[in-house]
Amino acid sequence: MAAAAVEPRVVVVGAGPAGSRCVEALVKAGIRPLVIDESARSGGQIYRRQPDNFTRSAEQLYGSEAAKATRLHKSFDGLQGRFDYWPESLIWNLAGNRIFVVRGAQQCSVEFSSLVICSGATDRLLPVPGWNYSGCYSLGGAQIALKAQACAIGAEVVFMGTGPLLYLVAAQYAKAGARVAGVLDTSPFYRRVAALPDLLANPRALYHGLGLTASLYLKGVPVYSGVEPLAIEGDAAAGVSAVRFRDGRGREKQLHCDAVAMGYHLRPETQLADLARCQFDFDASTRQWLPRIDRDGRSTVADIYLAGDGARIRGADAAEASGELAALALLADRGQAVDSQRVARLQQQLGQLERFARGLAKAFPWPHQLAAQLADATVLCRCEVVTVGEMRSTIALTGASEANRAKAFSRVGMGRCQGRYCANAGAEVIAAATDGDICSAGRLRAQAPVKPLPLALVEVAPEDWLEVSAEGVDPVLKPAEAGL
Ligand SMILES: Cc1cc2nc3c(=O)[nH]c(=O)nc-3n(C[C@H](O)[C@H](O)[C@H](O)COP(=O)(O)OP(=O)(O)OC[C@H]3O[C@@H](n4cnc5c(N)ncnc54)[C@H](O)[C@@H]3O)c2cc1C
């Protein structure tokens, strides 16, 4: 069927706090954006909604953030009909001003006039011997099981890593009645004390964080600071059985468990920004590459805006503010009038929250020294099952001292996750094996598909792919055109 010519659209990627506030500001200004999110319901990570037939209250689900969650959900739902919404739809590729979307077995492309990427974050992971056993989850995964399905990942869980999410998810598990065998934080306590001046930029969040830690102590959960993870014990058949670590005083200890949730703060989901050819800068405070943005969220590419955790890890309140700011920047760039006082207020709020985020990065640093000293037998890339030792010998044999070259020779970052879970540690292993400079190890370039595609898409013959009829959407593309 021939497609009618369609006007390029304003497209918003993600319906979390950043995307929701962005949509709200665009709709208010008379624009009808297309919102695409791979989740079934809006809310993003922090305000993730439970399936329809679940009946937990907002207070049970979101605790102290219940009022904010309810406000955000109501605002998004109240605007239905004034924007186009594609839930359960994954943007897996971007080329020029066109995105490629898969919805179940349907595949289509959308031409955009402007794109606001509010793609959120994922856990930042650090390998440890045994992290490939069953029963080992990311912190985010453990939280999603609880929030979305009211399930615990195990009967006795160890939480290991660093960052605010470590204490939050452990406290949520303890509150839900799960047995928390221990919380192991690689950050020494004095780091948190040293970060206090910056953390005071958001006293409410600081108080909330202290409350979470206190709730763990009150429930008798052992909490260790300044630990060095040694191994997750277990075997391939039975999975995880214990975590071995050195405590802050260097004493070796072991905690028995049948599941481990691990994560070292977060990393922004920047693949779409990368495919859009946005420039990136190295951020020394978090040892990550971040897309360059101005204070309103404009990227270095015209008509591409970045907001929320997908641009900078600054938390949910900042995600809301930056989503609205990005929308206002887009409107201003189109020549529409915007409320300059509102812009100034949002910029000021964001500045304050940025200071708090800097405090968190100081309080819970990425323990890069641990990546550098990993044992050779540790699995580095779980998708392709490549060990740290194999990566080191690849570097020694080929002289590859840059992440993309090392990937080509070693396959680290070439699997299903496309490096989203191994790239940070991989770069540290490269840096340690070469000149020690994490910057010159570079960053893995994003490749499509940015996330795994459903098998259904492969099984459907191209001639059977359905056309998607929605305003502003082109008909289905053949695989070669879509870059498959
Ligand atoms: C797993 C996890 C759990 C978290 N839990 C908490 C918490 O309990 N409390 C807290 O304070 N902070 C939490 N955080 C941090 C918190 O997510 C943020 O501060 C806040 O949610 C960021 O909002 P956002 O809109 O930027 O991103 P998100 O809320 O992450 O929303 C991004 C949205 O974009 C969608 N998306 C991403 N890529 C694509 C794509 N290619 N195609 C289609 N859709 C896409 C996602 O499905 C998601 O709905 C969590 C982070 C993670 C990763």
- CATH number, residue 293: 3.50.50.60
Q: Is there a single domain that holds both residue 429 and residue 333?
A: no
Whether 288 maps to a domain, the answer reads yes
Ranking 17-31, 40-54, 92-106, 469-483 by mean pLDDT, the lowest is 469-483
Can you tell me the mean pLDDT for 16-37? 97
Lowest mean pLDDT among 27-31, 71-75, 429-433, 463-467: 463-467
Average pLDDT of the segment spanning 252-264: 98
- Residue 14 CB less than 6 A away from ligand 1: yes
Question: Greater confidence, 132 or 1?
Answer: 132
**Residue 1 is assigned to a structural domain of this protein:** no
Kindly state whether residue 102 falls inside one of the protein's structural domains. yes
In-domain check, residue 64: yes
Residue 103 lies in a domain: yes
My answer on whether 159 and 238 are in the same domain is yes
Alpha-carbon distance values, 325 to 80, 170, 205, 294, 342 (Å)? 21, 33, 22, 11, 9
Kindly state if the Cβ of 119 falls inside 6 Å of ligand 1: yes
Domain's final residue, options 245, 264, 283: 264
Average pLDDT, integer, range 227-234:
98
DSSP 39: S
What pLDDT was estimated at residue 472? Answer: 42
Residue 141 pLDDT:
96
Whole-number Å distance, alpha carbon 286 to ligand 1 midpoint, is: 19
In contact, 187 and 225? CB cutoff 8 Å = yes
Confidence of residue 464 (pLDDT cuts 50, 70, 90): low
Tell me if 223 is assigned to some domain: yes
Q: Which pLDDT score is estimated for 22?
A: 98
Give the pTM: 0.93
Question: Ligand 1 centroid to 436 CA: how many Å?
Answer: 32
319 C-alpha vs ligand 1 centroid, how far in Å? 9
**Ligand 1: does its nearest atom lie under 6 Å from the Cβ of 120?**
yes
Q: For 409-460, how does the pLDDT look when each residue is reduced to its tens digit (9 = 90+)?
A: 999 999 989 999 999 999 999 999 997 789 999 999 999 999 988 776 665 5
Q: Is 469 a domain residue?
A: no
Ligand 1 atom 10, closest CA: 46
Together in a domain, 91 and 138 = no
The pLDDT value recorded for residue 461 is 55
Is the pLDDT at 386 greater than 60? The verdict is yes
Q: Parallel, antiparallel, or unpaired for β 239-246 and 228-235?
A: antiparallel
Question: Can you give the three-state secondary structure of 430-479, one letter per residue?
Answer: HHHHCCCCCCCCCCCCCCCCCCCCCHHHHHCCHHHCCCCCCCCCCCCCCH
pLDDT at position 7, please?
A: 62
> What's the pLDDT at 479?
43
Last residue of one domain, picked from the residues 234, 264, 294: 264
Are 390 and 423 in the same domain? yes
pLDDT, tens digit (0-9, with 9 covering 90-100), for 300-337: 999 999 999 999 999 999 999 999 999 999 999 999 99
Task: State the pLDDT at residue 6.
Answer: 55
pLDDT at 358 over 60: yes
Report, as an integer, the average pLDDT of 274-302. Answer: 97
Q: At residue 8, does pLDDT exceed 80?
A: no
Last-in-domain residue among 264, 280, 298? 264
- Across the range 6-26, mean pLDDT stands at 92
Domain co-membership, 135 together with 254: yes
pLDDT computed for residue 105 by the predictor: 73
Residue 97: both structure tokens together: 């001003």
Burial per residue of 123-156, b for 16 or more beta-carbon CB atoms within 10 angstroms, e otherwise? bbbbbbbbbebebbbbbbbbbbbbbbeeebbbeb
Is there a single domain that holds both residue 377 and residue 355? no
What would the two tokens of residue 349 be? 């709020």
Query: Does the beta carbon of 308 sit less than 6 angstroms from any atom of ligand 1?
Result: yes
| Residues 149 and 238 placed together within one structural domain of the fold | yes
Find tokens 């309810």 and name the residue: 70
Domain that holds residue 378: 367-453
The closest-lying atom of ligand 1 relative to the alpha carbon of residue 62 is 8
- pLDDT computed for residue 484 by the predictor: 42
E runs forming strands in 118-238:
121-123, 136-138, 156-162, 179-185, 223-224, 228-235
Q: How many CB atoms lie within 10 A of CB 64?
A: 13
Q: What was the pLDDT predicted at 476?
A: 44
Statement to judge: residues 208 and 314 lie in one domain: no
Mean pLDDT of the chain: 92
| Paired strand residues for 13 | 36, 117
Looking at the fold, whether 109 and 192 belong to one and the same domain comes out as no
The pLDDT > 90 percentage for the chain reads: 85
Each residue of 148-169: pLDDT tens digit?
889 999 999 999 999 999 999 9
Lowest mean pLDDT among 5-9, 214-218, 339-343, 409-413: 5-9
- Tell me, using a 6 A CB cutoff, whether residue 316 lines ligand 1: yes
Residues 17-43 have a mean pLDDT of 96
pLDDT digits (tens, 9 = 90+) for 61-91: 998 899 999 999 999 999 999 999 999 999 9
Q: Which of 364, 369, 387 is nearest to 131 (CA)?
A: 387
Residue 472 lies in a domain: no
Q: How confident is the model at residue 463 (pLDDT cuts 50, 70, 90)?
A: low
Total number of domains constituting the chain: 3
Does pLDDT of 474 surpass 90?
no
pLDDT for res 258: 97
* Whether residues 302 and 390 fall in one domain: no
User: Tokens 């030792």 label which residue?
Assistant: 389
Ligand 1 centroid, distance to 405 Cα (angstroms): 31
pLDDT category, 473, cuts 50, 70, 90?
very low
Same domain membership, residue 45 and residue 24? yes
Do 258 and 210 lie in a common domain?
A: yes
Say yes or no to pLDDT of 46 above 50: yes
- Residues 386-412 have a mean pLDDT of 95
**Residue 52, pLDDT score:** 85
- Percent of the chain whose predicted confidence (pLDDT) is above 70: 92
Indicate whether residue 310 lines ligand 1 (CB < 6 A): yes
